[in-house]
Chain A
């Protein structure tokens, strides 16, 4: 299945990655190669085989509702790009 530059632009937008305009064609080419390599999956008869989501055959374990985390804000924010008054700063968001 071939992906176009336009497809790549859409993907770049969805994945929030800035790409150089002159890289779009090559990228489309590479992605198309990967997509082609995966194309064979469509021919396989699965006879209603259920999709496998986890290789484990166990169910979800439940955790007791007790506080187990402490306030480590100082530690976590020591590696943050931008904070003020304990808040993470990002360029102003409009809604």
Chain B
């Protein structure tokens, strides 16, 4: 059962090949078997999952079904899940039982899906390694000595190891697409505004968007169909009509113009990765796409931009964690300042503290104009580059990241660990939808290729990825032993 894609499971459940309870139990048993070595789940909600599965089976009997009824999913612990702990991978929220559901979880629950639990993540999604969670690092199932990538480390690893068919995740600079790529999976970040951010703990509010880590584009389409749409609780949520993602999956790619920015394939990219990514472009060409050279003159600034604005927004978003109304409070605070300083000092890990301070630095009076506002001006230029490129092409293809995942034991270089998101961050800077999908392996480690589309054009993205996956096999690869 765990070898099946989500779409296949949906059909199997519809046909009655097995029940939701059987499928859920199967996954719960696998989690118990494998997760102690992987640490991809922070919380496995066994009883709830079985109850939901039973409810789904009952609903199916009475005829009220959707494509997701009875389908098990796992959710990154950045999404508030009502009545259960929502930790964001941090000691600060270790005791936080969310009083409400994130909009995304609500939608998926209403559609009858089963929640297996909350997946591990880098603390408050502030690194991209999978190493900085309060609950311990997540192991890479392809190579236990390497990092899994993050921040959505657990969401990616759980799918890769066959502990769930698909998971939800949040993407701020690429921290959904990157671990997906490192784990041989498809990672979709929706357009900014396509999925409500209500209940998704904010990191950098103008960058954050939800998405899915799945085996296939078809699975991502299924999930996006349920998740996308207007929510009154999010001012940045679009009211634009939701496309029919499934119906356009099978459109032929002939004439599809795909832009390649040669500057992104320079010597800073591992040449083996570059080759595979360009090969994926070649494959799309074989399917009828036309490759066109484009320029993205300001793309080299993506990380500087993301770092400055992202850390600035994150720093202010994190001020609410103060030990007053919820979350961690230090013992016996002597006075108010002590309450704040020790609660935050004791409960935030070093990466989070660094990011908050870095952001505060850029927002400070002496730096604000020269760095923060300047970065916002450059952000507009990056967005304009992309808009202008989309005047000539329908999709843009780039590497997901420049290097293979490093070994976990290597001393961390925070800046280089952070900079691996320089291609993925382009999409967040401009609010565009983007998808990473497996396109090969180097030394037995998965490599991904990235596609970007214009705003709200997820259908086009999923169509191209689906066609690619009909013609290739990489998305079927699984790590040994799982």
- The answer, yes or no, to whether B381 is at the interface (CB within 8 Å) is yes
Q: Once A and B bind, how many residue pairs between them come within 8 Å at the CB atom?
A: 170
Assuming A37-B415, A56-B238, is B361 touching A18 (CB within 8 A)?
no
Report chain A residues within 8 Å CB of B315. Answer: 15
Distance between A7 CB and nearest chain B CB, rounded to angstroms? 7
- The answer, yes or no, to whether B340 is at the interface (CB within 8 Å) is yes
- Asked if B339 and A34 sit within 8 Å, CB to CB, the answer is no
- The answer, yes or no, to whether B183 is at the interface (CB within 8 Å) is no
Distance between A21 CB and nearest chain B CB, rounded to angstroms? 12
Q: Which A residue sits closest to B427, measured CB to CB?
A: A55
Once the chains are docked, how many angstroms separate the CA of A52 from the CA of B206? 10
Distance between B408 CB and nearest chain A CB, rounded to angstroms? 19
Report chain B residues within 8 Å CB of A17. Answer: 341, 344-345, 348, 353, 356-357
Report chain A residues within 8 Å CB of B399. Answer: none
A-contacting 9-mer, from B61-69, B261-269, B321-329: B321-329
Contact with A along B280-300 (1 / 0, CB 8 A): 000000000000000000101
Contact with A along B22-55 (1 / 0, CB 8 A): 0000000000000000000000000000000000
- The answer, yes or no, to whether A86 is at the interface (CB within 8 Å) is no
Once the chains are docked, how many angstroms separate the CA of A49 from the CA of B381? 7
- The answer, yes or no, to whether A40 is at the interface (CB within 8 Å) is yes
- Asked if A15 and B360 sit within 8 Å, CB to CB, the answer is yes
Distance between B79 CB and nearest chain A CB, rounded to angstroms? 17
- Asked if B360 and A88 sit within 8 Å, CB to CB, the answer is no
Contact with B along A19-48 (1 / 0, CB 8 A): 100000001001101110111111010100
Distance between A95 CB and nearest chain B CB, rounded to angstroms? 11
Once the chains are docked, how many angstroms separate the CA of A58 from the CA of B235? 10
In the complex, which of the residues B99, B301, B376, B419 contacts A75, with contact meaning CB atoms closer than 8 Å? Answer: B99
Distance between A47 CB and nearest chain B CB, rounded to angstroms? 9
Report chain A residues within 8 Å CB of B376. Answer: 51-53
Contact with A along B420-449 (1 / 0, CB 8 A): 000000000111100000000000000000
Q: Which residues of A61-95 are within 8 A (CB) of B?
A: 61, 63, 72, 75-76, 78-82, 88, 90-93
In the complex, which of the residues A33, A41, A44, A81 contacts B414, with contact meaning CB atoms closer than 8 Å? Answer: A33
- Asked if B345 and A88 sit within 8 Å, CB to CB, the answer is no
Report chain B residues within 8 Å CB of A54. Answer: 206, 236, 431
Consensus secondary structure, chain A interface: loop
Report chain A residues within 8 Å CB of B335. Answer: 91-92
Contact with A along B295-330 (1 / 0, CB 8 A): 000101101110110010001000100111111010
Consensus secondary structure, chain B interface: helix
- The answer, yes or no, to whether B1 is at the interface (CB within 8 Å) is no
In the complex, which of the residues B327, B360, B361, B371 contacts A41, with contact meaning CB atoms closer than 8 Å? Answer: B371
- The answer, yes or no, to whether B16 is at the interface (CB within 8 Å) is no
Report chain A residues within 8 Å CB of B364. Answer: 14
- The answer, yes or no, to whether B101 is at the interface (CB within 8 Å) is no
- Asked if B304 and A37 sit within 8 Å, CB to CB, the answer is yes
Once the chains are docked, how many angstroms separate the CA of A31 from the CA of B414? 10
Assuming A38-B371, A80-B326, A91-B339, is B380 touching A49 (CB within 8 A)?
yes
- The answer, yes or no, to whether B187 is at the interface (CB within 8 Å) is no
- Asked if B374 and A46 sit within 8 Å, CB to CB, the answer is yes
Once the chains are docked, how many angstroms separate the CA of A78 from the CA of B418? 37
- Asked if A56 and B356 sit within 8 Å, CB to CB, the answer is no
Once the chains are docked, how many angstroms separate the CA of A37 from the CA of B421? 14
Once the chains are docked, how many angstroms separate the CA of A44 from the CA of B374? 9
Number of residues of chain A lying within 8 A (CB) of chain B: 50
Q: Which A residue sits closest to B382, measured CB to CB?
A: A52
Q: Which residues of B329-368 are within 8 A (CB) of A?
A: 329, 333-342, 344-346, 348, 353-354, 356-358, 360-362, 364
Residue of A27, A81, A93 with most chain B CB atoms under a 10 A cut-off: A81
Report chain A residues within 8 Å CB of B383. Answer: 52, 55
Distance between A56 CB and nearest chain B CB, rounded to angstroms? 5
Distance between B296 CB and nearest chain A CB, rounded to angstroms? 14
- The answer, yes or no, to whether B377 is at the interface (CB within 8 Å) is yes
Once the chains are docked, how many angstroms separate the CA of A80 from the CA of B337? 19
Report chain A residues within 8 Å CB of B333. Answer: 90-91
Report chain A residues within 8 Å CB of B380. Answer: 46, 49-52
Which residues of B are at the interface with A, using a C-beta cutoff of 8 A?
95-97, 99, 192-193, 206, 232, 235-236, 238-239, 298, 300-301, 303-305, 307-308, 311, 315, 319, 322-327, 329, 333-342, 344-346, 348, 353-354, 356-358, 360-362, 364, 370-371, 373-381, 383-384, 414-415, 418-419, 429-432
**20 pairs, CB–CB < 8 Å, chain A vs chain B:** A3-B361, A7-B361, A11-B361, A15-B315, A16-B337, A16-B340, A17-B344, A17-B345, A18-B345, A27-B354, A30-B354, A37-B307, A44-B378, A46-B377, A49-B378, A53-B206, A54-B206, A55-B206, A60-B235, A72-B99
- Could you list 17 further interchain pairs (A-B, Cβ under 8 angstroms) beyond the known A34-B307, A38-B375, A46-B378? A8-B357, A14-B360, A18-B344, A30-B354, A33-B415, A39-B304, A41-B301, A44-B378, A46-B374, A49-B384, A55-B206, A63-B232, A76-B99, A79-B97, A79-B99, A79-B326, A81-B326
Q: What are the nearest 3 A-B pairs in CB distance? A: A55-B431, A51-B376, A18-B345
